[in-house]
A and B are shown apart, each in its own frame.
Chain A
Amino acid sequence: MRYAYYPGCSYHGTGKEYESSTHAVAKKLGMELVEIPDWSCCGATAAHGKSHLLNISLPARNLAIAEDMGIMDVTTGCAACYQQLAHANKRMTENKETREKVNKITGKEYKGTLKVKSLVEAIGTIDPELLKAQVVKPLSDLKVAAYYGCLLVRPPEITGFDDPENPMFMDNMMKLAGAQALDWAHKTECCGASLGVSNLDVAVRMINRILKAAVESGADCVVVACPFCHLNLDWHQKSVNKQLGTTYEMPVFYFTELLGLAMGISPDELGLKTHFTDTQKVLSLVG
């Protein structure tokens, strides 16, 4: 399967473990991720607060370039980028007037022929047998709380590939990797997204609710599919502890990191050494 791949701005920075583990896992699965040449920011977390047109036009430039690559499907790991690309795609394919207006703004012709898929959907729709065949070190009995957050599964008119209240795609992948996917209450509760940057005192209360639910469910770790979710749950865990007097030490992994471990890819190649909350406890559990 070939995909036009959109890395998103956090690919070499805050989300670099996601980037390296994504490529390592894709290689194992025979997925070809072809980077969209000279991609630019999709405007997530900011453009929607300024202008409807800007919010569609920033991702549209990337869609136009991707369409020229002659690949039918676009994928990205960042849930915020996915939301942006899928939203612009929907607005531009369902409304000719919007499409023409936006094409005029970008100076590029997007015809509206692409499908936008999140990385969770792209990997999650691979034949389960094929995925299982790659698992050489099953994550035996590792208890994971799969956290989807909001933008990956909502609003359903834009996302639509999984249930908006009780999504299962990541849970199923974790089961294939040998882990135990827990049933828990905060799968799709919002982590505060960019409030972690603008108003940390608000975000820590949101993050706290999610971590608390994960601990209560008995999870060894939380699994995410977005660099923003990771930043909030992993990095800001320290701020939660400091501001609210909690004592969380909950490792937070990208789903691609855990898939990679199960496939026998080395922790170094996956980028497991640059997390803020210690991952050693889990690494020793899975050997």
Chain B
Amino acid sequence: MELINLNQSIAKNAHFIEEIGIESGQPVQKCYQCGKCTAGCPVAFAMDYTPNQVIRMVQLGMKEDLLKSKTIWICASCSTCSTRCPCNVEIAHVMETLRIMAGRSGTAPAGKAKYVEVMYNALLSTVEKYGRTYEVGLVLQNNLKSGKLFNGAEMGLPMFQKGKLKLSPSKVKGAAEVARIFSEVRKMEGGV
């Protein structure tokens, strides 16, 4: 992280700080950096900013660094942090809000974060199409899009042999209703 001018950052991003507070519904201003969230976070070892750093960065209006961070994608949403925070900040929900904001702002995640985004998109596109998750389709799509030799490839055959992967999707009768949910949400908030 380079040097930043905090006064400038806070002034420039006052709107962002407020927006996070409202959209996540979390009292982020209350955090006093005890570090309990990070101490219990099972994914902290793979993050670029730890959970307590993320909350501090929100307080300081460091919008760009946050939206570019790997942390907000790699967070496993386990809510250990939220359950333990003495100030009742649901940090997991702040992470989720930042992730959604990053998507809306068109900030492209890189590396490990990108793999997470690719998986989200692959999953949701099968749900939009069939109304349910379709595991084989997911494995293939994920492979193609992330350009990574997805571990599912080595996973596919033994799964199939145990009868645990179906080769055709099971389509919901109301698949059109599910597709409608996607289009209505898009209409309402633009995006998805």
Which A residues are closer than 8 A to B by beta carbons? 9-10, 12-14, 16, 38-41, 43, 45-54, 57-58, 61, 101, 104-108, 149-151, 154-156, 164-165, 188-190, 192-195, 197-200, 202, 205-206, 209, 235, 239, 274, 276
Contact = CB atoms under 8 A, between A and B. Distances in A.
20 contacts: A12-B170, A14-B159, A14-B164, A40-B175, A40-B177, A41-B127, A41-B133, A41-B178, A50-B120, A50-B124, A52-B97, A53-B189, A151-B79, A154-B83, A193-B77, A194-B119, A202-B43, A202-B74, A209-B42, A274-B163
Interface in B127-177: 127, 131-133, 135, 142, 151-152, 155, 158-159, 162-166, 170, 172-175, 177
The 5 closest A-B pairs by CB, nearest first: A190-B78, A150-B78, A9-B133, A154-B79, A46-B123
Given A16-B163, A155-B83, A54 B116 contact: no
Nearest to B178: A40
Contacts of B17: none
A35 to B, nearest CB: 13
Nearest to A80: B77
Contacts of A40: 127, 131-132, 172, 174-175, 177-178
B178 A190 contact: no
Nearest to A210: B42
A195 B170 contact: no
Chain B interface SS verdict (over half): helix
A161 B172 CA distance: 31
Given A49-B99, A154-B82, 18 more contacts: A40-B175, A49-B100, A51-B100, A52-B96, A53-B185, A53-B188, A105-B188, A108-B177, A150-B76, A151-B79, A190-B78, A192-B43, A194-B76, A197-B142, A198-B115, A202-B74, A206-B76, A239-B151
Interface of B: 23, 42-43, 45-46, 73-74, 76-80, 82-83, 90, 92, 96-97, 99-100, 103, 112, 115-120, 123-124, 127, 131-133, 135, 142, 151-152, 155, 158-159, 162-166, 170, 172-175, 177-178, 180-182, 184-185, 188-189, 191-192
